[in-house]
Structures are given as structure tokens and as C-alpha cells.
Structure 1
Amino acid sequence: MSHAAAFPTISVVICSYTEDRWDRLMGALDSVRAQTRPPQQTIVVVDYNMDLYKRLIFTVPDVVIVENNGPKGLSGARNTGAAVAKATVVAFLDDDAEAAPDWIERLAAMYDDPDVLAVGGRVEPRWEAGRPGYFAEELDWIVGCTYRGMPKVAAEVRNVIGANMSFRADVVDRVGGFNPSLGRQNTLPLGCEETELCIRAVLGAPGSRVVYEPAAVVQHHVPAVRGTFRYMLSRSWSEGISKAQVSRIVGHKRALGPERRYIRQVLPRAVFAGIRGWFRGDDPAGLERAGAIVAVFAATATGYLRGRRLRAVPVAKTAPTPTDELWREVQ
């Protein structure tokens, strides 16, 4: 079979919940229109915002516009988009991200291997106010981007990154989609729904793989507020909460395997490099950056320990939204 014949059809899903990101959303859609391999369809899912839905209906004629028909939040919206998708592969792009022209082509090429269930790509931060000196590249996961320590060439990974990911459509259907009790709800910075879905998908198909292809690139807008130390700690705490919820579903070892390497190798190296550079005088922000890494690790660990004490998250497709207790903990 030729490469062209094996190329899968792609549906692109973009989820949005606010008109405040209108210009970003238009940029995301323009980047999809500019693809070297156009998608079979582009879908925008509106998460319970009628004004945004109406504006899109009257403004964007070449895109499928649907309302989230599941629980409010990113997971429910993604499941709605996946259900509407007609292609063999469903790709997800954030509404504040823009894809490189060959994004779809790079993702789709990896599906030549029938054992590949999901493919994610590189997410590069586009800092609104420039990268703060204390914000280490090792911590870019805080703003939903690829972080230093991830593979530099195509490799098997545990999970993809939400801003730039794709799945075989039948896989999403088989595992029941994204867990609505995980994932961002408006500005509440929960996450890990893609991690949990990837783990469940691989567990249900022994020998299958999730692949990271760094050549499939999107640029993710990072507003100035997300570069603040306050946001770093808040997001880290929420990440700990989310990881704890995932570990209660799929088990501690499966949920935290890559994190062990990250904690043992990547973070210590970054801390020592920052301190060393500050002492030498060639890295004025090195000490501040090292301190931020330690603080983020502490916040994440504390959030994880707290999350372990909360009620376990259901796996079912009809799982409820986060409990009131979880809301109070992460706000």
C-alpha cells in the first residue's frame, strides 16, 4: 500500500467557551485552513455559551459548529466533537493555539503503524509578555506546552499533550471518551483527562502505542497572567490534584511512571544548572529559577497528597463533574 493510500482522514476539533478568545480562535481556524493536507472537516464545539455559538454560526460558514451536549467542561466538549467527527482520526487543537502548515500531515503519517492509537506533537509557548526569567523550560507543562526533558525525536510516550493531540476515532469510542470528571472547566485549571484516556486506551489494546512526534508543531498563546509565580503554584497544585485522581483510576505506577524520571533526573539537573549559573554570574535569574522549580515541585506534591484523600473519580462515560469538595480545594 502506498503512503498516499494509507494516509488517514482527519477531523479537527477545537473547543471554545468564551468570546474573550475570539481573535485566538480565528487564528486557530486560519491555521487549520492553511494545512498542506486539509482535514475532512473542522469542528468547533462551544461549551455552554450561546452568544459565542450564535456569533460563530453567522461568521464562520466553512466550519461545523456544535454545542457541547455533555457535562460542562473541556472533556464534555471534546467528547461532543469526537462524536460529530466523521474521519478515521480525530485531532484536537486548542482555541488559543495555531498549527504549523504541515501539522496534520505530520500527525497522520504516524498512523501508518496500525499499533499506534494516538499521536501528539510539540507545543511551543508563544509568550504574550516574554518568558519570565524564573520560568524554567522544564516547567512549560504548567502552561500546556512541551517541556525540556521530553523526547527530541519521535518516540513512544505514556500520553499526549492536550493542545496538540490526535486519536483513532474508534479508540475514543471504544474507551468511552474523555472522563468528564477530569479536565479544565472554564478557568479552573484541572487537567490530565488526556493522560487518563491514553492509559485506558493502551490497557484495552495490549501491544498498542501512544506516540509523540515533535515535528508536528503548534504554537500555544501564553497570556501574561500565566507567567506569574502565583499562577505557577496554583496550576501545580491543581496538577497534583488531577494526577491523584488519575492514579486512583488506573493505578499509582501507571499514572506516575514518567513523573518519576522527571523528578529524579530532569528537575535536579535544572536546579543545579540554575544555581551554578547564578554563582558564575552568567545567569542572573538562575537562583530565582531554581527556587521556582523547588516551589512548583512542593506545590504539586502537596496537591497530589491532598488529592489522594478526595473521593475517587468515576471512569464511566456519564461520570459527574468534579465534586464540590474538589472545587473548593483547587479554587
Structure 2
Amino acid sequence: MGMNWLAHLAARAEVPVFLAEGEAAPAEYAHLLARMPALRVVDTPRAAAILLVVGTVPKALLPQLHRLHDQLPHPRATVLWQSRNDLSGAKRIDSAEDIGTAIKTIHSDLLADNVESEPDILPDAPPNEWRGVGPHGQGGKGMMGGTPYGRPMAMTAADLRDGLELDTFTADFGPFLPMFPPGLVLKLTLQGDVIQTVAVTHPPFETTEDRGWVLLDLLGLPALAQRKLRGDASGKGSFDRLARLTAARAAIPDGLGRTHDGSDVRARFDHLMSRRDSALDLHLHHTGLDDLLVGLEWHEAMLVLNSFDTASLRTICANTPEPETDDNADDEDDNKEGGMDHGAHAGHM
């Protein structure tokens, strides 16, 4: 009886939803969701009850979608909004008018045990077999490096700024990270939060989404970000005046993310806040993400990524060189002896 009462109260609360955007997502879907009081878009799948797949996730990114699905805690369900993807047990919705009501109903049914929580898509097994040379998988050459449970172990390398030998961590990031443009997957090497190397695994999807609200959120202004996202930027004072009063522009380092035409994140932020329809005339020839991101801290890099329109960012991704490969045969032999795959590991959403 007590649990039924708690479930009833929980069903009346906002539904926590995690978004996974694919190709050909409905226009202004984020704007529509932000105006639905019954839904709350969360930043991590661990806080969500509903996985909302908007548009169609391409085949190359389905493994990431499956990993994302399995990160949601039970009880959980998946909703496909104008999506051609096929996930067992997921409910399909085509009309924007139905999405809020449908998600609310599914969540209530989950809490009342009227529908079963979705099982894992992937097997509960390590993505990489990882053993040392000892009888129980311990010790020997296998203790250095490797990817236990899909996460590469940090190894030391010289810091770009002062040459100190610090741990480096290499992993794929994207395509569903909320602070990443949808579809973008980057292979990054980090030392702490400083980017050492960058390579493009998958470019962002083609979209006309205005990422100005993401910049505001990254700058610590979530209320103003939601106001821009909902589209209610009118009222007492113009929206750009409110943005100026927050001094958000001054929080962006001068010259951050400068391109060959001289524009930087500040200039692109001003353009996004002014809500102009025309795009900036950026000169991006020979400009790659390695030119823009290497040496930046994580937060600075996120500001740079979200300051570009999608077409410009896709051009920059195309200009980014392929990662260098290590052809050292001795290293390959060592990896094989330790039973480890240094190159394959799970990513970060």
C-alpha cells in the first residue's frame, strides 16, 4: 500500500527524460520539449526514466545508443519520436502534439507496474578481455595499460604546458553528450581536463539548431538558457540586453577559438545572442579541430564547439587530420601477450 502511494506521487512529478538525437530530427524539437512542463530533460542517463530517441540514429552509432540505453536505471522505457530505429519494446510517436502525453502515460505505467521495465540490450560482460599472466589474471606485463571493462588505463606523458609527466586518458566522447553538438564523436586524449590530442570519429549531424542556449548554460546561466530555448526572449527588456547585463560575454576568454578570419567565441556568441537569421562569414580553410582545441581545458573546448553553426563545424571536422597510428611491432606483441586491446574501449555517451 505504501509503495502504491509513493508510485502515485512519483507519477505526478516531472518525467526525467534523456535525449538521444539522430538524423532528421523534428524541427525545433528541443524548443517544443522545453515548453512541456510535465517533462524534465536531464544531463545524464543515470537520472532518467525515459530514453527519448529523436530522429534516426545511423547504423554506425547504434552501439553507442545501445550502451546509452543500458545506463538508464530501472524502471525504464524508450520512446522513438519520428525515428526509423528499431528497439525492442520501444513506443513510436510521430506527432509532436502527442509526445508529452505519451511519455507521461508510459512513465505512470512503469511506476504502477502496468508495463515491464526494458531489459539490457547488451550482455553483462567486459567489452575487453583483460588478464595478466598470473593464474588469477594478476601480475606480469598485463599490469600496464589495457582497457579493463572498456576503459583505457591512464598512462604517463609529458604535459603540453610544462612538460611534467602526468597521466593521459584516451577515449571516445559523444554522440549523445548534452554539451556536444548531436552526432559528434571525438577521440580525445586528456591530461586532467586539458586536451592533448583530438581526432574526429563521426561528424555532427546536419541541423539548423541554434546552440546559443547551450553556450549560456555552459557559462553558468541555466535560467537564461532555458528562456532562449523556450523562445520567450521578449518581455522586460530585450533578450540581448539581458545577456549583456549578466556579463556572460566577459566570462569568455578573449581570442578563444579564433579562426583565420579573426572571429572568436565572443564574436560568435554575440551573433547567436542577436538572433540574426544569417550565418557568419567564417574563413575555415585549413582550420581543423586540432588547431582550435589542443591545449584548451574542457570547459573552454565546449565553448568553442558550441559557438559554430553545424555547417561550419562539419567543415572544421573535415579539415581535422586523421590520428597517427602506432606501427611499433614490439608494442603490438606486448599487447597480445597481455591479452589486451589498447585500441578498443567503450566511450562516453
TM-score normalised over the length of structure 1: 0.31
Bigger Rg over Cα:
2
TM-score normalised over the length of structure 2: 0.30
Specify which structure has the higher proportion of helix. 1
Specify which structure has the bigger relative contact order, considering alpha-carbon pairs within 8 angstroms and separated by 6 or more residues: 1
